[in-house]
Structure 1
């Protein structure tokens, strides 16, 4: 998760004048984890559902409410500017959505420039899915001349000097040679045209979502900035723009709107219109376990930096600021009520219920499977259910298909729920390649598939996987392991040849069998050398994966 460094001096300038001990006591009550602290500042970690807290300004804004220094919804005036940007039809098939705003009266120091860059990159992760959904550019407005154009250009159609470079390059050259271009080339590689933001004179501001131009680089002399947010998701684009603009406004910046002319409509952004949502007093009291009335809930919501009004003794209407993108349901308001009441003040209670526990059938099955694997000389590992497309698909030589994706991933390597256990085992072998051979590991765990027929649109399946690595690992060995596992579990051992991208052709087989209450299917074989190399392993790997399904 993103780690934010909060300097005590910055917090003091933003109205938080409390000592370090009090700050360390308060921040966890707001939902953060304290990573480290010293005499200059404190490092904290917030969950990705609160991207508005990824800057020191956002944290200070919430802290002022939590401490009762300033309550209610912050008000941000957004006067119009005379700046316009035209979205050309040529870019609609690439990255169709654009948000733009002007912020004046900004004050940059070297420290502030670093903070802004870190804030920008954190938003790229939390909202932008590593720039796939959203990419952000911040420019020195005084270096260019409006109006602006957002269009799609041919890969060789223009040249400009990208950020941190000294020579002009075409968009294609940037994707092939510039470090940022190489890192994010996959976002544009399949398109015939690349997005480009240019000014009245044809000067390039940005090649979204790759890199800005050197021309508009921010410096300590910058006083007016232009913020552009491009992406494939209009809602995410507007969310990121609102969060950035209101963060700058907290430190004295003046937001001015930009007219965005699209082929089908005209927008004036940013749109900081708040939304309204009701919360039931009885529901809030039931969920939190605290006896609250409407007046108390109104006060707590205002401490959460919302406006609130009492509709009836059992209903309070909350007015939610545009930067609070995490408020999606009534329970989110209840969470804010509990947070502002202070979690530490809520006394835990043991439920007054009496039950007789009984071990679940699947848990008994898990234990038996583990006993079998340990008896065969394997060591159990447990990996996270969250993985990444790169590890799950690319490194395993598999084509991407439907999967459950994480809406706001906390890191690059935790963006989806796994559909297989094998890549997790290979990651474990990669992390332990310095250990002695042979290595024999297994895992029993759940995977999740997309299933439109299921009530939840997902289906959870239990799997067993094992992997062995040593200098002479081969098909005969993994076949004997597969036979021992299947027969010890009470199934018949029937195999058929299988062509699987993750395994060597001709050295992979499938398993399919039925028992009294469940059926199994799976595969085993010698892992493909390319897969072995992708995980930086030096010796052959053989592997088995079995899926269990109740009848």
Structure 2
């Protein structure tokens, strides 16, 4: 999860004079986890559902409400900068959306420059999905001259000096030679044109989402900045721009809008208009276990830095600031009410429920599968349902397809829900290369597929996977294991030859069998050497994966 570091003096400069002990006590009540602290400052980890707290200015703004220093929604004046950016049709098929804003009156020193860069990279991950969805550029405005153009160019069409370089490079050279270009080349490589932001004199500001130009690099002398946010999701682009602008405004900057001229129309950014939503007092009381009244709910929402108005005896209307992008439903307002009341003060209660418990049939099936696998000499492992595209697809030699993605992932390792158990077993082998061989492991667990026909949009499927590694592991051994597993589970063992990208050609077979109440499909064989290399494994691996379905 994103970790931000700030000094106690930073908070004092932002209007919060609080002793260290009190701050360490309060921060976890706001939904953070303190990583470390000393006499100078603190390292705090925030959940990615609150990207507005990824800067010290955002933390201070929220703290002032929690401590009762300020209440209600902050007001930010947005004046017109007179600047505009034209979005050319050539970029629409690559990275179609852009937002821009100007911030005047900023003050930078070495520490502030570092904090801004960390803030930018945290947002790249939390909202931007590692720049795929959103990418941010922050420029010294005095180094360029508007109006600006956002266009798609051919890889060799222009050249400029990228950030932290001394020589000019074409966009293609940047993707092939520059460290940032190599890291993020996969975001543009499939396109014939690359996005480019230029000023009225043809100077290059950046090649989103890769890197800015050295020309607009921020320094301690910078006083006016131009913020650009580009991406593939219009809503995420505007949300990110709002968070950045309001954070700089908390530090004393003045926000100025930029006109975005698109082929389908024009608008000004940023748009800091609040969103209105009502919350039921009765529902908030029931969900929190508190005895609330409309006035108390209004006060608690005001502490959460929202404006609030009592509509009736059971409804309070909340005005939600533009930077609070995580408030989507009424229950999110209830959560804010609980946080501002102080979760530590809420007394836990046992529910008054009388039931007769009975083990779920699928759980009984799980236990039987575990008994079979343990009887065959396997050791059970349990991995997280969350994985990432690199381990799930790239390392397994699979094509990326439809999947259930995590909207606001906690880390880069957990960005999607798994559709297979095999990569989790190989990750386990990778982490245990130092242990003795042979290693025989299995896992029983759920995987999730996108399914628009289901009410939830997803389909949960139970799977069994096992894997074995040692110096002479081969197809014949895995075939005997697969036969023992399938027959002990009560199915007939019927196989056919199969080609699978994760397995060696000619050494993979499919399984399909139907029982009285359920059926199975699956495959087994020898893992491909390129897969082994991807997970850093030195010895052969044989594996089996079976999917269970109710008839």
Bin of the TM-score, shorter chain as denominator length:
over 0.9
The CA deviation at 1:377 is: 1.2
Q: Residue deviations 1:39-83, cap 9 Å, x none? A: 111111111111000000001000000000000000000111111
The CA deviation at 1:493 is: 0.9
In structure 1, what is the equivalent of residue 346 of structure 2?
Answer: 346
Once residues 437 and 464 of structure 1 are traced to their aligned partners in structure 2, the CA distance between those partners, rounded to angstroms, is 22
Once residues 501 and 218 of structure 2 are traced to their aligned partners in structure 1, the CA distance between those partners, rounded to angstroms, is 47
SS in 2 for 1:397: coil
Q: Is the 8 A contact 1:466 1:545 kept in 2?
A: yes
Once residues 170 and 163 of structure 1 are traced to their aligned partners in structure 2, the CA distance between those partners, rounded to angstroms, is 13
For normalisation by structure 2, the TM-score amounts to: 0.99
SS in 1 for 2:98: strand
Once residues 85 and 399 of structure 1 are traced to their aligned partners in structure 2, the CA distance between those partners, rounded to angstroms, is 37
In structure 1, what is the equivalent of residue 460 of structure 2?
Answer: 460
Q: Residue deviations 1:169-217, cap 9 Å, x none? A: 0000000000000000111111111110111111110000000000000
In structure 2, what is the equivalent of residue 379 of structure 1?
Answer: 379
In structure 1, what is the equivalent of residue 281 of structure 2?
Answer: 281
The CA deviation at 1:367 is: 1.1
Q: Is the 8 A contact 1:507 1:526 kept in 2?
A: yes
Once residues 7 and 550 of structure 1 are traced to their aligned partners in structure 2, the CA distance between those partners, rounded to angstroms, is 57
In structure 2, what is the equivalent of residue 490 of structure 1?
Answer: 490
- Where in structure 1 do 4 or more consecutive aligned residues deviate above 3 Å? none
Q: Residue deviations 1:95-137, cap 9 Å, x none? A: 1111000001101111111100000000001111110110000
Output aligned runs, 1:216-365, within 5 Å: 216-365=216-365
Q: Residue deviations 1:516-548, cap 9 Å, x none? A: 211111110001111111111111110000111
Return 416-425 or 428-437, whichever deviates more. Answer: 428-437
Q: Residue deviations 1:147-170, cap 9 Å, x none? A: 111111110000000001010000
In structure 2, what is the equivalent of residue 21 of structure 1?
Answer: 21
Q: Residue deviations 1:228-273, cap 9 Å, x none? A: 0000111000000000000000010111111111112111111101
Q: Residue deviations 1:13-62, cap 9 Å, x none? A: 11221111111111111111111111111111111111000000001000
Once residues 491 and 470 of structure 1 are traced to their aligned partners in structure 2, the CA distance between those partners, rounded to angstroms, is 28
Q: Residue deviations 1:355-388, cap 9 Å, x none? A: 2211111111111111111111111111110111
In structure 2, what is the equivalent of residue 110 of structure 1?
Answer: 110
In structure 2, what is the equivalent of residue 443 of structure 1?
Answer: 443
Output aligned runs, 1:136-285, within 5 Å: 136-285=136-285
Q: Which segments of 5 or more consecutive residues in structure 2 lack a partner in the other structure?
A: none
The CA deviation at 1:457 is: 1.7
Return 415-424 or 4-13, whichever deviates more. Answer: 4-13
Once residues 537 and 128 of structure 1 are traced to their aligned partners in structure 2, the CA distance between those partners, rounded to angstroms, is 32
Once residues 190 and 440 of structure 2 are traced to their aligned partners in structure 1, the CA distance between those partners, rounded to angstroms, is 41
Once residues 523 and 319 of structure 1 are traced to their aligned partners in structure 2, the CA distance between those partners, rounded to angstroms, is 54
The CA deviation at 1:404 is: 0.5
In structure 2, what is the equivalent of residue 504 of structure 1?
Answer: 504
Return 152-161 or 452-461, whichever deviates more. Answer: 452-461
In structure 1, what is the equivalent of residue 68 of structure 2?
Answer: 68
Q: Is the 8 A contact 1:99 1:241 kept in 2?
A: yes
Return 239-248 or 141-150, whichever deviates more. Answer: 141-150
SS in 2 for 1:276: strand
Once residues 535 and 126 of structure 2 are traced to their aligned partners in structure 1, the CA distance between those partners, rounded to angstroms, is 26
Once residues 389 and 514 of structure 2 are traced to their aligned partners in structure 1, the CA distance between those partners, rounded to angstroms, is 32
Q: Which segments of 5 or more consecutive residues in structure 1 lack a partner in the other structure?
A: none
In structure 2, what is the equivalent of residue 87 of structure 1?
Answer: 87
SS in 1 for 2:84: strand
The CA deviation at 1:6 is: 2.5
Q: Is the 8 A contact 1:100 1:260 kept in 2?
A: yes
SS in 1 for 2:445: strand
SS in 1 for 2:86: strand
In structure 1, what is the equivalent of residue 133 of structure 2?
Answer: 133
The CA deviation at 1:437 is: 1.1
The CA deviation at 1:227 is: 0.2
Once residues 84 and 493 of structure 1 are traced to their aligned partners in structure 2, the CA distance between those partners, rounded to angstroms, is 68
SS in 1 for 2:448: strand
Once residues 219 and 411 of structure 1 are traced to their aligned partners in structure 2, the CA distance between those partners, rounded to angstroms, is 30
Once residues 277 and 78 of structure 1 are traced to their aligned partners in structure 2, the CA distance between those partners, rounded to angstroms, is 23
In structure 1, what is the equivalent of residue 388 of structure 2?
Answer: 388
In structure 2, what is the equivalent of residue 479 of structure 1?
Answer: 479
RMSD (Å) for aligned C-alpha atoms: 0.8
Once residues 408 and 384 of structure 2 are traced to their aligned partners in structure 1, the CA distance between those partners, rounded to angstroms, is 17
Once residues 191 and 353 of structure 1 are traced to their aligned partners in structure 2, the CA distance between those partners, rounded to angstroms, is 58
The CA deviation at 1:490 is: 1.2
Once residues 438 and 81 of structure 2 are traced to their aligned partners in structure 1, the CA distance between those partners, rounded to angstroms, is 68
Once residues 146 and 455 of structure 1 are traced to their aligned partners in structure 2, the CA distance between those partners, rounded to angstroms, is 49
Once residues 100 and 135 of structure 2 are traced to their aligned partners in structure 1, the CA distance between those partners, rounded to angstroms, is 12
For normalisation by structure 1, the TM-score amounts to: 0.99
Once residues 457 and 79 of structure 1 are traced to their aligned partners in structure 2, the CA distance between those partners, rounded to angstroms, is 43
Q: Is the 8 A contact 1:125 1:410 kept in 2?
A: no
SS in 2 for 1:466: strand
In structure 2, what is the equivalent of residue 400 of structure 1?
Answer: 400
Once residues 368 and 345 of structure 1 are traced to their aligned partners in structure 2, the CA distance between those partners, rounded to angstroms, is 44
Matched, 1:418 2:418: yes
Once residues 57 and 35 of structure 1 are traced to their aligned partners in structure 2, the CA distance between those partners, rounded to angstroms, is 19
In structure 2, what is the equivalent of residue 6 of structure 1?
Answer: 6
Q: Is the 8 A contact 1:404 1:416 kept in 2?
A: yes
